[in-house]
Amino acid sequence: MIVMGSVIGLAFFLLVLLVSLVVIPFGVAGTFIIVADALVYGLATGFEKITLMFVGVLLGLALLVELIEAVLGSILARQFGGSRYAVAGTIIGGFLGALAGTPVVPFVGTVIGGFLGCFLGAALFEWIHHKNMHRALKVGYGAFLGALGGKVTKFTVAVVMVVLICVRIF
């Protein structure tokens, strides 16, 4: 019966890893769920294959990719000619857009709202500051690309984290 419990535990562990990847596009911090799942696995197995140091590396990756995701929209807004106002608009718009989109369309609304909010926030703040619609739209587009790039980067790093875990346990 112990073997059956181990199989069920492993299956649940792998299911949580899979769910962690699935929730990332919807604005959930799946990388931290991966870290927590690895920590629980390590605790349950006496840190044989998943060591505490390895969990620390995973945590470092999760923190780094969260930071990248958070600032990439602002960086690209700036590279597309945006001012400090556009950078602030990207951050505020992305946050408010994700909040506003969540109740409108469950799950997907968070993503759409976040991307749209980055675009609109950067464009609006830039337009208010410079009164140039062409420039504002260009900056908003940069913010959108940055938000999209941040999400893709986060998902890619999460996949790498899951692969690293699977290599260790199998």
Give the chain's count of helices (H) and strands (E).
6, 0
Which pLDDT score is estimated for 1? 44
Q: Does the pLDDT of residue 5 top 70, yes or no? A: no
Q: Does the pLDDT of residue 3 top 70, yes or no? A: no
In the block, residue with structure tokens 């919807």: 26
> Rounded mean pLDDT of 73-97?
88
pTM of the model: 0.83
For 27-40, give the secondary structure using H, E and C.
CCCHHHHHHHHHHH
Confidence of residue 140 (pLDDT cuts 50, 70, 90): very high
> Rounded mean pLDDT of 29-41?
95
Q: Does the pLDDT of residue 71 top 90, yes or no? A: no
The number of residues making up the chain comes to 170
CA distances from 17 to 12, 23, 53, 108, 120 (A): 9, 10, 19, 20, 34
Q: What is the DSSP letter of 24?
A: G
Confidence of residue 4 (pLDDT cuts 50, 70, 90): low
Which pLDDT score is estimated for 33? 96
The average confidence (pLDDT) of the chain is 90
